[in-house]
Amino acid sequence: MIMIENSTMTLEYKKRISKFLSLILRHQPETINLDLDGNGWALVSDILANKTLKFTMAELDEVVQTNSKKRFSFNEDKTKIRANQGHSLTTIDLDLKTQSPPEFLYHGTVAKFIDAIKKVGLQKMNRQHVHLSKDQETATQVGSRRGKPVVLSVRAEQMESQGFKFYVSENGVWLTDTVPPEFIVFKKA
């Protein structure tokens, strides 16, 4: 059990709390016997009472507010928290409304996946949606997590005109069910 006494958390500890929140809010709430409602909300009090990783409300608030990817959100009175997207839990409905995308959206990946993407497009794999970025810079950051980034352009407006639906998570990530290869612009090497 770890308890941070002071109000200045190290980046390492913030990252540890963020990874813990991702685990319990996006993938395995049963790790701490956490109950998520149908929209992915959990009681903050249940998270603060967990015995796996101890932190205060102020520390939790700091992680939520300073997370560069804005992965988590509180409800209005901060009694509940949820992940904004990226769930592998199929029972979660984030109650997203369809949105009209810009002409292009972007997806960051690495070269080793390009051949598969050319064959089957972008798939949601073990998540509820394919994640897309509104700008190339963000897609580059996403792709760089796994190595040298490759940024793919997605003809989102054209996809929408052919019946594909798009959503925007609370933290600005564009979501869709799949991106067939014919809507992806592959740059020449």
Residue with tokens 């394919």, as numbered in its chain: 130
Per-residue pLDDT 10s for the chain (189 aa) are 344 344 468 889 999 999 999 999 989 999 999 999 988 999 999 999 988 899 999 999 999 999 878 889 999 999 999 998 877 777 777 778 899 999 999 999 999 999 999 999 999 887 888 999 999 999 999 889 888 999 999 999 999 999 999 999 888 899 999 999 999 998 765
Domains parsed from the chain with CATH numbers: 11-83 (1.10.10.970), 105-185 (3.20.170.30)
Q: What is the DSSP letter of 18?
A: H
Neighbours of 34 (CB within 10 A): 17
**Which helix (DSSP H) or strand (DSSP E) does residue 176 occupy?**
strand 174-176
Provide the 3-class DSSP secondary structure of residue 80.
Answer: strand
- pTM for the model stands at 0.68
